[in-house]
Structure 1
Amino acid sequence: MHEIAPGFSLFQDDLEHVRRKLAPVWPALRGAHLFLTGATGFFGIWLLESLIWANRAERLDLTITALSRAPERFLDTRAQHLRAYPELRFVAGECADFELPKRPCTHILHAASESNVDALADWPQRHLDAAIDGTRRIVDMAARHRCKSVLVTTSGAVYLPSESRDGTRFVEGPAGIADYIAERHVYGQSKRLIEVMTAVAANRHGFDALIARCFAFVGPYLPLEQNYVIGNLLRDALAGRELVVTGDGTPLRSYLHAADLVVWLLTILVRGRSGVPYNVGGDEAVSIAQLAHRVAAVVGLPADMVTIKQASVPGAAPSAYLPALGRIRQELGVRVDIPLDDAIRRTLAWHRERMNTK
């Protein structure tokens, strides 16, 4: 049975999983000062708690500085338990204008991203500005502090095509402003730009530019109400409601549990090759329809509680958002240790635990 670790908000099993799997990595981080952006998001909370847990268990003498727009609000409303750890410090501000820590940082994990939860019309401009100005500030800090490395978490969205081919020739692709400002286009292109900016600065200033192209994930703290298919399915399963797939259920996805995600990210930070992007994601491809049935089976709902709204087109190739994992496996030796069904089970158990303690 999974239990919340005393003084933390995640399961002790998950924190121990990260600590054990990263045994070869911890010596390289002993005495390090890590700076983390996106510290209050899904990636950020997992990184913070995993690093603090390992710091205590392995006696690493880490210092962690976390950037947040409103750290006091975050600590008061979501993470009061984190006040107990003196190795964790917060800096208030945006990525583009925060005050640099006085003590030089040895490693930077740039995991911030401007989300579009409210579907606001100005999101494309805000997202692009945050990507450019925030990354410029981060690489400037890396240069001033003579950092060893900067890890940027980008996205599999960089692979989504902005142009098309007609045989061997390129055709123009976008057919107007609406295509250029579409969320998929802006998000993917801005993530690619972050990679380029970091690599250019690394070449000039001598730090390592590490790149993690992140795909789809599951685990505690993944938002259940936002535009994440697996999150929405888990939300409805927890409520005992029908699991509804609004499309035809054929798109293919793979999911990596957040504990494995942390293992992979910190392995890239310490052992990755500078300027080389690594895909980060699950290895088991499932259709959205299959995913809905897998969630239903784990939670104990009958198969007829899954509804696929649209019929699939016979012979049509399904869309796919799947990472090739050959490079990261061969070079860094990581693997998926938490299978999909277990990942779903752990996430459901965590949410049930949280609901029972409220």
Structure 2
Amino acid sequence: MHDIAPGFSLFRDDLEHVDRELARVWPDLRGAHLFLTGATGFFGIWLLESLIWANRARDLDLTITALSRAPERFLSTQAPHLRDRNELRFVTGDAASFEIPSRRCTHIMHAASENNVDGRPDWPERHLNAAIDGTRRIVDMAARHACESVLLTSSGAVYSTVEANAGPRFEEGPAGIADYASERHVYRESKRLMEVMTAIGAQQHGFKAAIARCFAFVGPYLPLGHNYAAGNLIRDALSGKEIVVTGDGTPLRSYLYAADLVVWLLTILVRGRSGVPYNVGGEHAVSIAELAHRVAAQAGMPADAVTIKREPIPGAAPSAYLPSLLRAKEELGLRPAIALDDAIVRTLAWYRRRMDTS
């Protein structure tokens, strides 16, 4: 039975896991002032609570400044337990135009990202502008504050197939405006551009550019819907009715639990080489169909509770979104510690507890 830590919204086991796994990193953050964008999202809440827990457990003398468009709404509706924390303060604004704090920030974690949840047609333009303007603002702040390290949470989406399917000759690739303006293309190119801008800023101003290319995750606060397959399946399991895979179930993914995600991000922030990207994700590949059945099993549902809507195409190779973890393992000693089934159990337990108390 996992218990919520008093004064926090996450399980005590998870916060203690992060604290323990980062024992070699905490001395490098003693007395640090960390600035966090994307503070109210999935990554951000995990980072906030983990840092606050470690700060108190180890007397690190940390200060955390979090950027939010609406901090009062966040504290009132989503995180009242974070109100009046001595080590936590908020700046109101967005990544492109926030007021840079007067007190020097030693480390920046740029985790802001805007998903197209509402399917708005102007999303490509807004997302690209936010990526460019927000990263420029972060680089300016890092230069002004002489920051030690800037962590950019990039994405595994930056990887794409080489547009060279005609032997040694390159074909044009995008077939028109619709391809260029597609969510997948804009998201990939904006993340790649953010990496380039951060690396150039690091070279020019002397801070470290820590780049984390993030793949797929599971854990408390994972959005239950949108374009997150794991979130959709867990949402269905929580309903107790039917777990639906809308495709053929063959795509391959690997999942990292959120507590391990925090360990990896903070290790890369402190120990990663400048300008060198590190993949962040799970180790073992599972198909979406297998994931659905594992969610059903951990939720105590029968196998026939899973419905796969489409038949696989005979002989077709499954699409795969899988990171190589070799660099993170060899250079930083990172390993996924929490197995997928345990991660699913913890996520289900956390959401069920949340539903019971709402």
Q: TM-score range by the shorter chain?
A: over 0.9
How far 1:27 sits from its partner (Å)? 0.1
Mapped pair 1:222 → 2:222: yes
Q: Which residue of 2 aligns with 1:185?
A: 185
Q: Aligned partners of 1:246 and 1:357: how far apart in 2?
A: 31
Q: Which residue of 1 aligns with 2:150?
A: 150
- State the identity as a percent: 76
- 3-state DSSP of counterpart to 1:170: coil
1:228-272 Cα deviation digits (max 9, x unpaired):
111011011011111111111100001000000000000000100
1:81-121 Cα deviation digits (max 9, x unpaired):
10131100000001111011111000000000111000000
How far 1:225 sits from its partner (Å)? 2.5
Q: Aligned partners of 2:55 and 2:170: how far apart in 1?
A: 51
Q: Aligned partners of 1:272 and 1:24: how far apart in 2?
A: 13
Q: Aligned partners of 2:160 and 2:119: how far apart in 1?
A: 21
Question: Which residue identity does 1:173 align to in structure 2?
Answer: G
Q: Which residue of 2 aligns with 1:67?
A: 67
Unpaired runs of at least 5, structure 2 = none
Q: Which residue of 2 aligns with 1:172?
A: 172
Question: Which residue identity does 2:314 align to in structure 1?
Answer: P
- 3-state DSSP of counterpart to 1:352: helix
Q: Aligned partners of 2:241 and 2:185: how far apart in 1?
A: 34
- 3-state DSSP of counterpart to 1:241: coil
1:181-215 Cα deviation digits (max 9, x unpaired):
00000000000000000000100000000000000
1:254-312 Cα deviation digits (max 9, x unpaired):
10000000000000001000000000000010001000001011111111111111111
Question: Which residue identity does 2:122 align to in structure 1?
Answer: D
Q: Which residue of 1 aligns with 2:235?
A: 235
Q: Aligned partners of 1:257 and 1:164: how far apart in 2?
A: 36
How far 1:357 sits from its partner (Å)? 1.6
Q: Aligned partners of 2:7 and 2:263: how far apart in 1?
A: 21
- 3-state DSSP of counterpart to 2:34: strand
Q: Aligned partners of 2:159 and 2:146: how far apart in 1?
A: 31
Q: Is 1:68–1:92's contact at 8 Å kept on the other side of the alignment?
A: yes
Q: Aligned partners of 1:164 and 1:281: how far apart in 2?
A: 28
- 3-state DSSP of counterpart to 2:221: coil
Unpaired runs of at least 5, structure 1 = none
Question: Which residue identity does 2:291 align to in structure 1?
Answer: L
- 3-state DSSP of counterpart to 1:178: helix
Is the deviation greater in 55-64 or in 166-175?
166-175
Q: Aligned partners of 2:115 and 2:244: how far apart in 1?
A: 24
Q: Which residue of 2 aligns with 1:298?
A: 298
Aligned pairs for 1:132-147 (under 5 A) are 132-147=132-147
Mapped pair 1:195 → 2:195: yes
Q: Aligned partners of 1:222 and 1:300: how far apart in 2?
A: 21
Q: Which residue of 1 aligns with 2:8?
A: 8
Question: Which residue identity does 1:317 align to in structure 2?
Answer: A
Q: Is 1:162–1:174's contact at 8 Å kept on the other side of the alignment?
A: no
> Considering only aligned residues, what root-mean-square deviation do their CA atoms show, in Å?
0.8
Residue-pair matches, total: 358
Q: Aligned partners of 1:227 and 1:18: how far apart in 2?
A: 27
- 3-state DSSP of counterpart to 2:98: coil
Q: Aligned partners of 2:165 and 2:215: how far apart in 1?
A: 25
Q: Aligned partners of 1:161 and 1:210: how far apart in 2?
A: 25
Q: Aligned partners of 2:119 and 2:161: how far apart in 1?
A: 22
Q: Aligned partners of 2:328 and 2:321: how far apart in 1?
A: 17
- 3-state DSSP of counterpart to 2:105: coil
Aligned pairs for 1:264-283 (under 5 A) are 264-283=264-283
Question: Which residue identity does 1:110 align to in structure 2?
Answer: H
Is the deviation greater in 82-91 or in 259-268?
82-91
TM-score, L = length of structure 1? 0.99
Q: Aligned partners of 1:233 and 1:295: how far apart in 2?
A: 7
Q: Which runs of 4+ in 1 moved over 4 A?
A: none
Q: Aligned partners of 2:215 and 2:316: how far apart in 1?
A: 23
Q: Aligned partners of 1:160 and 1:56: how far apart in 2?
A: 43
Q: Aligned partners of 2:156 and 2:79: how far apart in 1?
A: 30
TM-score, L = length of structure 2? 0.99
Q: Aligned partners of 1:357 and 1:123: how far apart in 2?
A: 35
Q: Aligned partners of 1:165 and 1:146: how far apart in 2?
A: 45
Q: Aligned partners of 1:175 and 1:161: how far apart in 2?
A: 15
Question: Which residue identity does 2:234 align to in structure 1?
Answer: L
Q: Aligned partners of 1:199 and 1:235: how far apart in 2?
A: 38
1:110-148 Cα deviation digits (max 9, x unpaired):
000111000000000000000000000000000000000
Q: Aligned partners of 1:73 and 1:307: how far apart in 2?
A: 38
How far 1:162 sits from its partner (Å)? 7.1
Q: Aligned partners of 1:319 and 1:236: how far apart in 2?
A: 23
- 3-state DSSP of counterpart to 1:169: coil
Question: Which residue identity does 2:158 align to in structure 1?
Answer: V
Mapped pair 1:204 → 2:204: yes
